[in-house]
């Protein structure tokens, strides 16, 4: 039906729809009518994909809203955009999942953070456990934390989230167990006597996953003493990077997105 026809109705834009434009995290005060300078990483992406002045972009700062604008100037050092509209576009799950992840090596940790962000976690706490093969010196921990947060931000750009999960600083497992938690806390363990379906519907869940080799027996005991429920997730032993993603996806299907 042509646009000028009296019965024409413009398609309704649902808040969960993704804009048909590249998405960039822009950690500044976004507001309609404002001219903003894109961060270096976003500016580099603009040049790589050969966007031009006037092209549409979607921006988010992490406040839960989405801003659609257009590129103004693409220079050698800076890229600026004009913010044209703001819309509430929450793509968050009603299920709030926090992940306590045993520190694992290199790309595995990046993969867990990336995919857990896509699956909707609200926070990720890396922990150093007895069997963690990866070790990070104290002078590198801040840089590593910055890197992990950037991985989560890039995942938000890709998946459409406008609220960025916090990747919290690396601590020992003992410190993480002592932190306050809300809702139910579960420990993935092949020795668990409960399954996901045996649990009542939850709104807030904390998931604890060990590193390569799993948690040491004493660590499992400490986690149970701290209130974690041992949960068996199928008959197979999953890798440290597979286990959290599988259980989060299942919980989202049972209690969250689906």
Same domain, 237 and 134: yes
**Is residue 53 within 8 Å of 82, Cβ to Cβ?**
no
Whether 173 has a pLDDT exceeding 80, the answer reads yes
Confidence band for 117, pLDDT divided at 50, 70 and 90: very high
Decide: 124 and 55 in contact? Cβ < 8 Å.
no
Question: Residue 164 is encoded by which pair of tokens?
Answer: 């960025």
CB 210 within 8 A of CB 129: yes
pLDDT band, very low/low/confident/very high, at 240 (cuts 50, 70, 90): very high
Q: How far is CA 243 from the centre of its chain?
A: 16
In this predicted structure, what is the pLDDT of residue 18? 65
Range of the domain at 108: 96-255
Statement to judge: residues 130 and 58 lie in one domain:
no
Q: Mean pLDDT throughout 62-84? A: 93
Nearest Cα residue to 145 out of 127, 157, 163: 127
Q: Do residues 146 and 190 share a domain?
A: yes
Shared domain for 111 and 84, answered yes or no, is: no
State whether 129 and 159 are in the same domain.
Answer: yes
Residues 124, 76, single domain; the answer is no
Query: What CATH code is carried by the domain that includes residue 48?
Result: 2.40.240.20
Q: What are phi and psi of 132, to 5 degrees?
A: -65, 120
**pLDDT, tens digit, 9 for 90 and up, residues 184-204:** 999 999 888 899 989 998 899
Residue 69, pLDDT > 90, answer yes
Percent of residues, the chain, with pLDDT higher than 70:
93
Q: Residue 137: its pLDDT value, please?
A: 81
Residue 6 lies in a domain: no
- The answer to whether residue 102 is domain-embedded is yes
| Token output for 229 | 């429920």
Instruction: Give the pairing type, strands 65-74 and 56-60.
Output: antiparallel
Domain shared by 102 and 79, yes or no: no
Q: Do both 133 and 58 map to the same domain? A: no
> Are 80 and 109 in a shared domain?
no
Average pLDDT on 138-156 reads: 92
Q: Is the pLDDT of residue 16 over 60?
A: no
- The total domain count for the chain is 2
pLDDT at position 9 is 40
């Amino acid at each position: 039906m042509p646009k000028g026809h009296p019965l024409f109705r413009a398609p309704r834009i649902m808040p969960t729809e993704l804009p048909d434009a590249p998405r960039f995290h822009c950690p500044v005060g976004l507001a309609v009518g404002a001219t903003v300078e894109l961060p270096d990483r976003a500016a580099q992406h603009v040049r790589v994909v050969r966007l031009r002045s006037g092209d549409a972009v979607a921006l988010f700062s992490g406040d839960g809203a989405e801003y659609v604008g257009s590129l103004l100037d693409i220079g050698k050092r800076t890229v600026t955009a004009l913010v044209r509209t703001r819309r509430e576009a929450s793509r968050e799950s009603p299920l709030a999942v926090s992940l306590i992840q045993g520190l694992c090596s290199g790309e595995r940790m990046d993969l867990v953070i990336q995919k857990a962000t896509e699956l909707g976690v609200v926070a990720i706490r890396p922990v150093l456990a007895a069997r963690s093969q990866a070790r990070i010196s104290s002078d590198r921990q801040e840089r590593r934390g910055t890197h992990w947060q950037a991985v989560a931000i890039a995942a938000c750009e890709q998946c459409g989230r406008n609220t960025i999960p916090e990747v919290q600083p690396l601590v020992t497992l003992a410190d993480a167990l002592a932190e306050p938690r809300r809702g139910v806390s579960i420990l993935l363990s092949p020795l668990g006597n409960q399954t996901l379906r045996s649990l009542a519907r939850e709104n807030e869940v904390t998931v604890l996953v060990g590193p390569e080799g799993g948690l040491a027996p004493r660590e499992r005991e400490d986690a149970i003493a701290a209130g974690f429920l041992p949960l068996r997730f199928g008959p197979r032993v999953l890798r440290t990077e597979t286990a959290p993603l599988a259980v989060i996806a299942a919980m989202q299907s049972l209690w969250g997105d689906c």
